[in-house]
Structure formats: C-alpha cells, structure tokens
Structure 1
Amino acid sequence: MPPDVSAPPMSAAALMWRGVRRHRARLLGCYALITSWLLCEALVPVVIGVMIDRAVTTGDLDQLAVWGGVLVTLFVVLSYSYRLGARFGVAALQLEVHLLRVEVSEHVLGAGGARTGLLPGETLSLATSDAETIGELLWNIGYTLAGLVGVVVSAVVLFEIDLLLGLVVLIGVPLVLVVIQVVTPLIARDTTDQQAGIATATGVATDLLKGLRPLKGVGAEDVATSRYRVHSATARDASIRVARSSGYMYGLTAGLSGLFLALVAYLAGTRALDGDISIGELIAIVGLTQFLAEPIAGLGETSAQVARSFASAKRLVEFLHTPPLATHGSTVLDDPRAELSLASMTSGPLCDVDLSPRLGELVGVVVDDPAGADAVVRLVRGEVRPDERSGSLTLGGHPVDELTIDSLRSRVVVSQHHVDLFEGTLRTTIDPDDVLDDDQLAAILEASAASDVVDLHPEGLRQPISAGGATFSGGQRQRIALARAMATRAPILVLAEPTSAVDAMTEQRIADGIRSLRHPEGSSLSTLVITSSPALLASADRVVMISDGRVVATGTHHDLAQRDDYREAVLR
C-alpha cells in the first residue's frame, strides 16, 4: 500500500482513525477472527457444563459423543481463529508502523525539508518508538472488541442460568472499568513526558557519537558525558513514573477483578448449595468466572495502551505540522541560464547585502561572522521565509519563494560546511544516479583532490562508506563532499568553507580544480565560494567582503589584500 500523500491529520484521534481506515480490510478480518477466538473461549466452560449435565450425570454415551465433538470443534475453531486473526492484525500493525516511518522520513527529507527544531535522534525516536506505540493500538482495538463480546456473551449465559448473577456481571464490569479510567489521565501525562525524554536523550547521544572526534580533540568528553547523563536521568525518571503509574493501574485492575470474580464465585456456590442451579451450571459459572479475568484485565490494559498511543500520536501530529525549511510556489523556471541575485538583502545578521554572481563567474565571499555565512547559505537555499527578510532574492528574475522547489534545487546546489555522507560505496556517494562516465568522474575526482582518497584504498571507487563517513578524516570527507557537489554540474554551485580541513597544498589543488572544471573559457556555470582561504579567493574572479553584516568591499583578492581588515580575515 503506498503512503497516504494527503495532508497530515490535525489531531491524535484523526491520526489513529486514519490508521484504522487505511488497513480496514485486514483489521476487519483480524477483529472478526479474534472475536471468534474469544467467543469460543467463553463457550468452552459452557459446553463442558452442558456435557456434564446431559452426559456425565446421566451416563448417556450418545450425548457424551455429541458434546465431545462440539468441544473438539470449538477448540479447532478458537485455535485457527487466533492464528489467522493474529496474522491479519500483526500485518496491519507492521504496515502502519512502516507507513508512519515513511511519513516521518518524507517530512524531513522532502525537497522542502522541515523546520522541526529537533535533534536527529529525536526524529529517529518519533520514527521508531512513537510509530510502534501508535501501531500497537490497532491490534489492541481488536482485543478490546473481542473482550467486550466475551463479557456480553458471558453475561447472557449467566442470565440464562441465574438472573442475580447476570445482574452482578452487568453492573460489576462497568464499575470496574470506571474505576480503572481514574488513573488513565495520569498514564497519558507520564507517557508524554517519557517519550519526550527518550527522544531528547537519544538525540543527545546521537549528537555525542557524531562529534566524538572533535570532543576528544578539545578535551570536552566529560562535559558532553555530563550533559547526556542529565538527559538520560530525566528519561529514566519519566520511564519509572510511567512504570509506577502502569503498575498502580494493573494492580488496581487485578485487585478489582479478583474481588469481583470472588463475589461471582461466592454467589454461584451459594445458589448451587441451595439447589437452584445444577452441577453443570455451577461448573459453567466457575469457568466463566475464571474466563472473565482475562478480558476484564485486557480492558484495563487497553486504557493504558490508548493513553500511550495517543500521547505518541500527539507528538507525531505536532511534528508533521512543522513548517517547511524552504518556501516555494508554483512558478516553473525554464531558463537554464538563470542568474541568482540578492539585492538590498537584510536577514538575520546581514544588512543591505548585494550579492549577484554572473554567468560563468567564480565569486569568493568572505564573512567575518559564522552566523552571517550561515545566513547567506540559508538565503540561497530558499530556507528564509519572506517575513524573515527584506530586499530582493531572485533566480532568473523570479522571486525565489514563488518558484517550485524543483526549479530552485535543479539550478542552485549548496554544499554546506557540515558534511553528511551516507552508506554505500565511494562511487555511489559521488555519482548516486550513475550518470558520469569514467573520464568525467576522473576529472571531478582530480578537481576535488578526492583522487587521493580513491588511491589510498585497494578497492578504489568500490570502497565502502559507513554511515556518516566515520572511517574518513575530516579532510577526506570534505573532498568527497566537494566531488559530490561538483558531480551535479549545477548551473549555480554554492560552496561553504569547502577546504577548512585540508592542508595548504591540497587547498591549492582544489582551487585550481574548481577553476578548471567549472570555469573554462566560455563556461556559463556560476560558483559562489564562502571561504577565508587565500588560495580559493585568489582563484576567484571577484571577492565580496562582508563585515558586521554589510558588504564593505568588492574586488579581486589581490586588490582587497591591501585592506587591513581583509588581510586579518584571510591571510594565515
């Protein structure tokens, strides 16, 4: 079944109902079969009671054979009903969990991204723990419906045997459930805190592991560990509160159920001693009394499951309604030679900035503030909403926020300073669509100085890459990311500090490589490099210097090197 591409549900209840609707065929089969199973379970003591009254006490072998056959048939039906019902139910559960994971992934990995404010580990927790908790309710609903049917059938049988016992069951079961509901809100609140705490702790742990090398380099392991310990303790305390609350509820359920069942057994025994009911009816009552313990306990567990599932569903709905990172419209840009232009742009630390790389131009940008450099990157990626900026931001003369996301991303590729590498081989990382021939790939590897990474491994381009590229040094990851960016052959390529982790000789190779690969004579490709590297800036056609959020100078690297502030920013 394909993912539901409609707008995300507006509430936790709507999310849960959507899950029921899109698996209704499997769930109907599951609920019918599970109900059949529990109904047969309820009828087992009844059939045994009838067998005793009609066959055992009378010595009638024909009746014994008939009711023995009925009992065997009952066990066959209940066995296969549960097996098949469980298959349908678990299939629906697993598929719903899968679709929720896909929905979470598409929300953050879609072209527009998502402004969630969550750490990667927190998003992972939503896609795993929360999704599974939501899916579990689909199965639990079937068990709840079956439990209710079992209780009703038991009550009807008890009515047939004795009116008083039937009334006790019909009145006692709702009273037990009402008392159970008293602690359900406590479970829901504690579960929300627990899931949030787990997500935060997971996010911090993921962050810590990803930055383990830099942390060791600056000797900050103890600080990072202490931070994780605090968040982990918070998650632990929340889990303990949930376990305690759940324990109270389960204990209350078991206690009330035990008292209720003891009352039913006492009344039935009294009626049997008075001769008002037969031995078979007494056995049926005792059997039904024991049977009722399971569905009543299950109904109590359902309350806790509903609380947990709705707490997770609420978190997921809030996540799915976070706004996109990039704003976009419906205008399709057809011009492959469109120019990017920032005019009088004010956003964040930037104030009245003009930055417009022309066709075929290699432009270097020096920013004295990392926040300013990040603001430039977010602007050209289309991640700043119109209400968060002023000035003009256009591509091919069209406001960026009016273009389709495909029009923007197909023409403007941004390689950020932080490098994310994914599992696969070196070749699939650089050329995931397999569109480059060997000569083109070799030219890109040479231009990005990534050929050294290839040569160092016996498998060359077939060498495996682990998640995050953890087996590579920082400089190697930068060169692989640069090769990946240049392999897109984007009309406008934006590079943010692409050589900060490489040595001076490699930096010069990369500067020459960018110039030769993207800017030969007659090229219409534009490149914007945000850097403080003298080698990269020296190869640029034009350098724009931004200080205190404003453009303070424009010219060649040689010309700007006469300025004290420029030399302080770039010369090493």
Structure 2
Amino acid sequence: MNHPLLRALAIYREMPWRFALVTFLYIAGNLGLVWQQWLIGHAVNDVSSGRAVMRMADGNLDATLAWHWLWLLLAIALGRGLLQYAAAVLSLVLSQALLTRLRARILTQVQRLHLGYHWRHGMGELVTRTTRDADKVRDALITFWRQIIETPLVVMAAVGLLCWYDALLGLVPLLLTAVGLWLFVVQTDRLVSLDRAVGAAYDQVSQDLAEGIGGVRVIKAFGLEQQRIERFASQVGVFTGHARAALGYASSRIPLPQAVVALGHVWILFYGAHRVAAGALGIGELVTSLLVATTLVFRIEGIGRVMQTFADARASAERIWQLLDERPAIVSGPVPLPAGPLGLKLQQVRIGAVEGGRDILQDCSLTLQPGEVVALVGATGTGKSLLASLLPRLADVQHGAVLVGSDAAGWHDVRGLDLAELRRRVQVLAQETFLFSDSLASNLRLAAPQASTAQLHEGLRLAAAEDVLERLPHGLDTPLGDRGVTLSGGQRQRLCLARALLAAPDILCLDDATSALDALSERRVLDNIRRLRGDTGHGPTLLLISSRLSTLLLADRVLMLANGRISASGSHAELSANNAHYRDLLGIDHD
C-alpha cells in the first residue's frame, strides 16, 4: 500500500467496530436519499393523476393518500437527518482518534531516530509534520473515506435508478460523471506538487519562528529585532505566494468537471421530455430523474470542494510517511550490561561528520579503568564532543569498537547492549543545559522517577546546588520556566549535574559541563563525586572534557586528542613538562 493517504486510512483498522458503524450510517443515509427521491416520483405521479386528493360522492375531499405521502416523506427526511447527524459526529470522533494515534506515532518515531536525523532536519520541519501535516491528513480523511464509500454508492444507485426508467437516460449521465472524475484525477498531481511547495515554505516559517523564540536573548543582545522581523515577513511572503498559487489553480480548474457533470441535467430534461411525450415515461419519473441528476452534480461539487484538501493531505501524508518510514540508525541490542563498576575502552575508533566528509576520529584508542578520573583535552574541532556521544550510543562508530565493562567482568561492545540500560548507567552531560518548563523536583526526577525528597536533596548536595534550592521561592515545587530561563548558566549546569548524579551512573562524562562554575564550586562537585567511592564501594568512572586548568589538576590522568587520535597521556605535570603542544593548548609558559 504505497499511496500515503490510503496508508493513513489503514490506521482505521485499529478501530474496526467504530469504523464499521460510521460506514453503515453513511451507506444507510445515502440509500435513504435514493429511496426518498424514488418515492417523490411516485408521489408526483399520484398528484398528477389526481389520485392523491379525490372528491368523494358526497362532495368532500379525500386526502388520505396525500397525507400518506407527506408523512412518509417527512419520516424518511427525519430519519436521514438523524443518520447524517450521527454519522458526522461519529466520523469526527473517529478522525480525532486517528489524529491522536498518528501524532503519537510521529512523536515516538522522532524520539527513536538518531541525532544525525535531527541535525539534518530542523525543529521547524518536525513540528510542521506533527501539527500542520497531521491536521491536514485528519481533515482529508474525514471526507476521504466518506467519498470512497459514498461516491461509488451514490453513482451506482443514481445511474441504476435512471437506467431502470430508461437505459439511455442513465448511460449519458454515467459517462459525463466518469469524465468529470477523470478531470479531477488529472488535476490532482498538479495540486499535490503545488502543496509540496506550500509545505516546504511552511517549514521555513516554522523554523524561523522557532529560532526567533529560542534565540530571543541573542536577538535582543545584538539588536536584531527588526532584521528578524523582516526575515520572518519574507518567509511568510514566500509561503503566501505558494498558497495563493495553489488556491488559484484549484479555483480555476475545479469548476470544469462540475460543468461537465451538470450537462446531465440538460440531457435528462431533453431526452426525458421526449420520452414523456411518447408516453414511455411518467412526470414523476422525470422529476425523480432530475433530482437524481442534481444529486450527482452535488456529489461532484462535493468532490471538487475537497479536491484541494485531498491534494494538500496527500502531500502532507507523504511527508509524514517519509518520517515514519525512516529507519532508526541506532537500535537496541539484547545483551544486559555486566553488574558492578564499569570502565571504558575505545579500540581504533573511526567516525566522520554526520553529513559525511573527512574522518574526525581515526584510529582513536583509549582505556579508562572503573573508578578512574580522566581528563580529555584537545583543540576546538578535534572531536571531543563527538567522542563523548559514542559512549551512550548517541552516535555509532564507522570502524572499531566502543567497549564498557572491566577486566574482571569482561568488556562488551556497546552496539550489542540493551540501549535503555546503557543510557541509564552511562551518562553524558554536555555544556549546553536543558531544563523542562516544569518544577525543579520534576526535572530532577527525570533520571530517577522514584527518588524521594531526601534523595533529591542529596543529589543537589553532590552537585553543590543547595544554594540554588534555597533561593527558589517554592523550593522543589518551583517552576523553572522555559529551559530554566529564570536561572543563571552556572545554576542550570549544577541542576543538570544533580539530575545526572541521581541516576547513579557507572560512567559519567562531563563535556565542559562545569564551564559556568567557579573553581571552588567545581572542586566541591568533583570531590563529592570522588567521595561516592567511599560511601558506596565504587564511584563512577569520570571522563572530564575540559581545557580549564582547575579541572585538569583534579584528574588522575590527562589524555590529549589531536589529529583524530590520542596523541599523549600522563599527569598534568608530566604533560606540561614534556609536551609543547599541551602547553600551547593551555597557554602555559615553559621556562
């Protein structure tokens, strides 16, 4: 099933009883319409022949048959109205259920996809697919499957009734309806291509809006408000131009199929009048034939009205399925992590940039024994953060292996390990902090959902963040605002560190994660982490990625990354005495 709209429609299979009920209601309503029109023809025949109202022998009028037709037609109209109302309400409920499931799948897929996909596709594009595209698919499917059910049913019933009266009376409207539908199909591809352009322009609008909100501090700091407003207005102008082109094409082309089908009225009136004059067709049948032709025109007009919606939804559905069909580059392995403390090994690792190009790490090897505190230094752009992302498998190596374990328990390639357990026991804390717009307690419990209040306080103590808690007006229940906007950079870093420590990781990598801390706070944090070894029997293995001298002095060993590999290893004193590149990197004068 390659058609994107039909693939979205297939989600209704997960709600078979509700779908079947709504389908039955639509079928019953449309069959009731054809029955109503057929009865109107019989009623007209009774009226025209004088049987509906007859004068009795005593001079009174007998309108029994007229009242019979009146009440019957009113009952059918009322019944059809109730059926249509129920079908409309239930179809909306059903389509909302589909939208909920579609958005849930999009969000699940977005969370499953690797970071490389997120870097290639901006936040604006992913938000658009979850909101605008999903809404368009939902709006179309409200009418799409209804048209799939109703249009063939109405056409068959209407043409069948006309052919019952006279074969030629029904064949010409059938031919005209087929031509009208064919014209719609021909126009669809152009409408889809136009909506693809509209969707791409909308992505840019969403991306620009997201950047304008997320980067508001930078914009204000550099006085870029007017420039960003003009840029956003330009993107909106491009979007408006594409949208206007799509609407213009639909408005100018869709009336043609409607006009073609409306010619059926002319044929029925001409040919039907001829058959009435010949006595082969009654007035009631002619009236019914005209009503049926009107139903066909309204049906085609309905298709015309939703044609633009279908084209929009088809392009949107393609974009959604492109996302949902993307195969995650990183999948979980079946092997559980070994119990006990974990160390880390990189064996001849090679990995390039996300978009390809030269290798950033090549033949890179290193070893961290369980509980060791090791610092990693290197010039900007040497791949330190990329190396850190390999530990919890946020990225995978192209050659070589990343191993965790110990000499006693054995070493295991992270690609074969259970991904959820690996990311719980191996934590990487980046310089860029992220706090959700929730309470402090909720942010801290992301790493340890069952943590007690005492444990939260202990995590804050380990991260030297007790003073942050003291300054918050409502303590742990204080909302932190969007991305922790109410806090300073150092406060955010300490809270993120407390969150990571609450998970009790076996390997903890701090990728410049203490850059906003003063030297005293940094020493307190690292001393607290070291003391965990005495409290629990083993502390986490620490990899400190930093170029701050105060950090390097706290490490057991320093590794230097250059030209994609570990070029030197030793204590800070040894490297500063024997390695000129190390001294240049830290700005140390050598006497």
| TM-score scaled by length of structure 2 | 0.85
User: Would the alpha carbon gap of residues 431 and 43 (structure 1) be closer, same or farther in structure 2, given more than 3 Å must change?
Assistant: same
Select which of 243, 247, 250 maps to 1:243.
247
Q: Which residue of 2 aligns with 1:54?
A: 46
Percent identity of equivalent pairs: 25
Q: Which residue of 1 aligns with 2:348?
A: 344
Q: Is the 8 A contact 1:113 1:326 kept in 2?
A: no
What's the offset of the Cα at 1:273? Answer: 6.7
SS in 2 for 1:539: coil
Select which of 444, 447, 468 maps to 1:430.
444
Which structure has the greater CA radius of gyration? 2
Q: Which residue of 1 aligns with 2:355?
A: none
The within-5 A match list for 1:124-523 is 124-139=127-142, 140-219=144-223, 228-268=232-272, 277-301=281-305, 303-348=307-352, 349-370=360-381, 372-386=383-397, 388=398, 390-396=399-405, 397-432=411-446, 433-517=448-532, 522-523=537-538
Alpha-carbon deviations, 1:190-240, whole Å to 9, x = none? Answer: 222322332343133213321221343345556655654554444333322
SS in 1 for 2:509: strand
What's the offset of the Cα at 1:183? Answer: 0.9
Of 316-325 and 184-193, deviating more is: 316-325
Q: Is the 8 A contact 1:345 1:354 kept in 2?
A: yes
Q: Which residue of 2 aligns with 1:6?
A: none
CA distance in 2, matches of 1:530, 1:11: 49
User: Would the alpha carbon gap of residues 111 and 295 (structure 1) be closer, same or farther in structure 2, given more than 3 Å must change?
Assistant: closer
What's the offset of the Cα at 1:157? Answer: 2.6
CA distance in 2, matches of 1:80, 1:238: 41
Q: Is the 8 A contact 2:382 2:562 kept in 1?
A: no
Of 252-261 and 239-248, deviating more is: 252-261
Q: Which residue of 2 aligns with 1:541?
A: 556
User: Would the alpha carbon gap of residues 520 and 366 (structure 1) be closer, same or farther in structure 2, given more than 3 Å must change?
Assistant: farther
Runs of 4+ in 1 over 6 A off after TM superposition: 111-114, 518-521
Q: Which residue of 2 aligns with 1:85?
A: 87
Q: Are 1:118 and 2:129 an aligned pair?
A: no
SS in 2 for 1:543: strand
CA distance in 2, matches of 1:382, 1:434: 22
SS in 2 for 1:182: helix
Q: Is the 8 A contact 1:261 1:290 kept in 2?
A: yes
Q: Is the 8 A contact 1:493 1:528 kept in 2?
A: yes
CA distance in 2, matches of 1:270, 1:543: 101
SS in 2 for 1:443: helix
What's the offset of the Cα at 1:491? Answer: 0.6
What's the offset of the Cα at 1:472? Answer: 3.3
CA distance in 2, matches of 1:436, 1:310: 47
CA distance in 2, matches of 1:276, 1:521: 101
CA distance in 2, matches of 1:512, 1:401: 32
Q: Are 1:97 and 2:103 an aligned pair?
A: no
What's the offset of the Cα at 1:337? Answer: 2.2
What's the offset of the Cα at 1:409? Answer: 1.6
CA distance in 1, matches of 2:412, 2:10: 39
User: Would the alpha carbon gap of residues 85 and 477 (structure 1) be closer, same or farther in structure 2, given more than 3 Å must change?
Assistant: same
**Counterpart residue type for residue 174 of structure 1:** A
What's the offset of the Cα at 1:368? Answer: 1.1
Select which of 13, 18, 21 maps to 1:29.
21
What's the offset of the Cα at 1:492? Answer: 0.7
What's the offset of the Cα at 1:46? Answer: 3.4
CA distance in 2, matches of 1:261, 1:496: 76
What's the offset of the Cα at 1:174? Answer: 0.7
Unaligned runs of 5+ in 2: 55-62, 353-359, 406-410
What's the offset of the Cα at 1:342? Answer: 0.9
CA distance in 2, matches of 1:205, 1:373: 31
Of 473-482 and 265-274, deviating more is: 265-274
Q: Is the 8 A contact 1:181 1:303 kept in 2?
A: no
Select which of 34, 44, 54 maps to 2:36.
44
SS in 1 for 2:254: helix
What's the offset of the Cα at 1:300? Answer: 3.5
CA distance in 2, matches of 1:328, 1:493: 20
What's the offset of the Cα at 1:570? Answer: 4.3
Alpha-carbon deviations, 1:53-89, whole Å to 9, x = none? Answer: 2247431522222222221221122112112222332
CA distance in 2, matches of 1:347, 1:501: 29
SS in 2 for 1:527: strand
SS in 2 for 1:85: helix
Unaligned runs of 5+ in 1: 1-8
**Counterpart residue type for residue 456 of structure 2:** L
Q: Is the 8 A contact 1:35 1:142 kept in 2?
A: no
SS in 1 for 2:312: helix
User: Would the alpha carbon gap of residues 414 and 51 (structure 1) be closer, same or farther in structure 2, given more than 3 Å must change?
Assistant: same
Q: Is the 8 A contact 2:427 2:507 kept in 1?
A: yes
RMSD: 3.0
Alpha-carbon deviations, 1:334-390, whole Å to 9, x = none? Answer: 33323221133232322332332221122221121245122112221224444x2x3
Alpha-carbon deviations, 1:451-508, whole Å to 9, x = none? Answer: 3332222101101133433343433332222221111111111121112334555444
User: Would the alpha carbon gap of residues 341 and 129 (structure 1) be closer, same or farther in structure 2, given more than 3 Å must change?
Assistant: same
**Counterpart residue type for residue 414 of structure 2:** V
Of 175-184 and 110-119, deviating more is: 110-119
User: Would the alpha carbon gap of residues 250 and 371 (structure 1) be closer, same or farther in structure 2, given more than 3 Å must change?
Assistant: farther
User: Would the alpha carbon gap of residues 520 and 207 (structure 1) be closer, same or farther in structure 2, given more than 3 Å must change?
Assistant: farther
CA distance in 2, matches of 1:20, 1:460: 47
CA distance in 1, matches of 2:7, 2:116: 19
User: Would the alpha carbon gap of residues 265 and 484 (structure 1) be closer, same or farther in structure 2, given more than 3 Å must change?
Assistant: farther
**Counterpart residue type for residue 380 of structure 1:** L
Q: Is the 8 A contact 1:257 1:297 kept in 2?
A: no
What's the offset of the Cα at 1:328? Answer: 4.1
